[in-house]
Amino acid sequence: MLKKILIKEVYLPIIYILIALIIYAILCKIINKVLVFNKKSKLKKEVQIKREKTIINLFKSIIKYIIAIITILSILNVYGIKTTSIIASLGIIGAIIGLAFQDTIKNLLSGIAIIFDNHYMQGDVVTINGFRGEVIDLGLQTTKIKSYTGEVMIINNSMITSVINHSMYDTILYIEFPVSKDVPISLLEKILKEVNKKMIKLKDIRNDIKLLGIEKLNANNYIYKIEIDCKAESHFQINRNFFGYLKEEYDKNNINVPGEYFEIKK
């Protein structure tokens, strides 16, 4: 009899753990299928993909903890520990914890609201409380934002009252650049076509460069303006790429670069 009990106490916990792992794997597959919409669509926006990944990870995390708790209670029951009294005690303890950790609960609720209201997702560029950077981690408790200079701000989700999301929609980047008065418009169009061939290969460029025309007339040159449709958080790099390619084409065509200061306009 003792031998049977010992065997039961050995193999049942192992079976419960295996069943828990199988259930978790099955539920994860179901979540992936249910929560991913238009899986085969090539036109799916990046923001939708990031949102789906964040929600899927949230559900997987919740399910993992639920299954773990149920499995632990089942194993304790095998060893003769009354789990009903433990569950009743958890209710009382939960009420005490709820009062002691009100701020933690607020952070949890705020984190869930941020995810489901699609305020921002991991990988987005945002401005929160005057701090701008990329969201490197979005948890149920805190949000971590990394600036372009490397600083990381960790902020409680309940402390986030307003957000500027720079990644939610694409932006139109306007760039002004100088051209000497002696450069024919036909040559300028040729130069821009060559620049466009290089620019369009960049992953964050949406469409071809549009030449809007002359913006200003200076003593020695004209200031032309172009329009570039691109991702919001990439406009600084795209601006640098454009002037780099423009300089290359100017050199090929023996055009001097006027000493002007340019500013990105959004």
Per-domain residue ranges of the chain: 2-31+45-100, 119-165, 171-252
Q: What is the pLDDT of residue 79?
A: 79
Of 131-140, 153-162, 166-175, 217-226, the range with the lowest mean pLDDT is 166-175
Q: Would you say residue 224 has pLDDT above 60?
A: yes
Q: Where are the alpha helices (H) located in the chain, listed in sequence order?
A: 2-35, 46-78, 83-100, 102-116, 185-199, 235-252
Q: Cα–chain-centroid distance for residue 176?
A: 30
Q: What is the pLDDT of residue 109?
A: 75
Q: What is the pLDDT of residue 266?
A: 43
Q: Would you say residue 113 has pLDDT above 80?
A: no
Q: What is the pLDDT of residue 22?
A: 92
Q: What is the pLDDT of residue 43?
A: 40
Q: Would you say residue 264 has pLDDT above 50?
A: no
Q: What is the pLDDT of residue 259?
A: 55
Q: Which residue has the higher pLDDT, 198 or 98?
A: 198
Q: What is the pLDDT of residue 265?
A: 44
Average pLDDT of the chain is 76
The span from the first CA to the last CA of the chain, in angstroms, equals 80
Q: Which residue has the higher pLDDT, 205 or 170?
A: 205
Domain 2-31+45-100 indexed as CATH 1.10.287? yes
Structure tokens at 78: 């095998």
Of 63-77, 105-119, 189-203, the range with the lowest mean pLDDT is 105-119
Strand order in the sheet with 221-230: 171-180, 221-230, 210-217
Q: Would you say residue 54 has pLDDT above 50?
A: yes
Q: Find the mean pLDDT for residues 184-202.
A: 86
Q: What is the pLDDT of residue 87?
A: 61
pTM over 0.75: no
Residue 47 · residue 121 · CB < 8 Å: yes
Structure tokens at 75: 């194993």
Q: What is the pLDDT of residue 42?
A: 44
- Name the band, by pLDDT with cuts 50, 70 and 90, for residue 47: low
Q: Which fold has domain 119-165?
A: SH3 type barrels. (2.30.30)
Orientation of helix 46-78 relative to helix 2-35, angle to 10°: 170
* Cα torsion 83, 85, 88, 92: sign: negative
Residue 228 · residue 205 · CB < 8 Å: yes
Q: Find the mean pLDDT for residues 31-57.
A: 62
- Name the band, by pLDDT with cuts 50, 70 and 90, for residue 41: very low
Q: What is the pLDDT of residue 261?
A: 44
Q: Which fold has domain 171-252?
A: Alpha-Beta Plaits (3.30.70)
